[in-house]
Structure formats: C-alpha cells, structure tokens
C-alpha cells in the first residue's frame, strides 16, 4: 500500500476503519491494513431550509423526494462497493458509535455489477435487521462485475440515524467518470 501526500490518496489494500481522533470539525482517521493513515475532513454540511447535504470523500447524500439517495465514487469496483457500504453505514448510524464485534464472510454472485451492488447492500441491510448490526469495516478480497468475496465487521450502534428498509434499482447505473466509477443508489426508508 502506498500513500501519496500530494493528493492524499491511499492506494493498495482496501480495509477501512472508522475511528474518532483528537481532531476538530469532524476530521477522522481512515486506517488501512498496513497501519498507514490519513487525516481527512470527513464532514462538510450545507444546510438549505430542511435539506441537509453531507459530503464525504467517497460518497455524498443527495436530495431525493421520498427516499434516501447516495452518490458513490471509487477507482474500481472494489473501492466503489466499499464506499457504498460505508455510505450505507453512515445513513444508518453514527459510525463512531459502532464497536466492531461481529464479523461475517460474504460470497455473492449476480448477473451484472449493478445487481451485485444491490445484492451486497441488501445483504448488509438484511443482517442489520436480523442481528441489529451496523457494518463499518470491509475487507473486499475480490470484486468482479458478477462476484464479490469479502468480510464485513460491525456491531451495535449507539446512535441510530434512520432505518433503511431496502436498496432499489431506481436509476442505478455504474458509470466511468474522471474519478473512476460512480453510481447513485436509492434506498427505501
């Protein structure tokens, strides 16, 4: 794994862990598997009447009429799927209040990348409903357009933001962009 100080990117293994640091303004440390870390300004908020849009380095909540939507970025499918799962965790609860105590191995298949993304997030939502666990750490060993193999770790959240019922296929398309890959995911609440 390498850390590029010029652009603040960590490249290599994809293991992310939320940690509270002794920093102000919502800054957090994202630890990586080789214990390198980087400090990021994790949250910036724009408030317009009752609309709150929150930006993160790999996802942002975007306005939706009746449900909740996230725009997610990643350099490749592994990073995109990890970003989507971190975004889902953020929508559900404050990741700082989750102590990862439960680990699950997942091996999923689907006919295409969009269906695999819905299957991945749907499995995390199902496990949340069944066990009350919010997953905040993800080691994705393999992600292809039709197969995902990895591990998710999580625990009970101290603060619940909202109940997510399901992930939808509404306008779901994984597209290449200047940042790598991007998609918008809509969740039923």
Tens of pLDDT, residues 123-165: 999 999 999 999 999 999 999 999 999 999 999 998 889 999 9
What's the domain range around 144?
A: 2-188
C-alpha distances out from residue 122 to 42, 142, 146, 164, 179, Å: 25, 18, 15, 10, 25
Among 187, 188, 189, 172, CA closest to 80: 172
Contact criterion met (CB below 8 Å) for 63 and 69: yes
β-pairing, 44-48 vs 37-41, is unpaired
- pLDDT, tens only, 6-20: 444 444 444 434 433
- pLDDT, tens only, 50-98: 333 344 679 999 988 889 999 999 999 999 999 999 999 999 999 989 9
Q: What are phi and psi of 80, to 5 degrees?
A: -65, -45
CATH label of the domain that carries residue 27? 3.55.10.10
pTM of the model: 0.71
Total domains present in the chain: 1
For the cut 70, the answer to whether the pLDDT of residue 33 exceeds it is no
Compute the distance between CA of residue 13 and CA of residue 168 in angstroms, rounded to an integer. Answer: 29
């Amino acid at each position: 794994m390498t850390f590029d100080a010029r652009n603040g990117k960590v490249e290599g293994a994809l293991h992310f862990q939320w940690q509270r640091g002794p920093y102000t303004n919502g800054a957090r440390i994202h630890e990586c598997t080789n214990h390198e870390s980087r400090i990021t300004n994790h949250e910036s908020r724009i408030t317009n009447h009752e609309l709150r849009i929150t930006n993160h380095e790999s996802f942002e909540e975007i306005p939706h009429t009746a449900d909740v939507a996230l725009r997610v970025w990643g350099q490749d499918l592994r990073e995109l799927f990890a970003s989507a799962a971190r975004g889902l965790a953020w929508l559900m609860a404050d990741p700082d209040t989750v102590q990862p105590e439960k680990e699950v191995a997942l091996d999923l298949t689907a006919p295409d990348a969009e269906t695999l993304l819905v299957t991945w997030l749907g499995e995390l939502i199902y496990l949340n409903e069944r066990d009350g666990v919010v997953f905040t750490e993800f080691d994705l060993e393999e992600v292809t357009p039709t197969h995902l193999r990895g591990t998710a770790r999580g625990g009970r959240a101290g603060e619940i933001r909202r109940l997510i019922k399901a992930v939808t296929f509404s306008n779901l398309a994984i597209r290449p962009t200047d940042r790598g890959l991007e998609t918008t995911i809509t969740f039923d609440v």
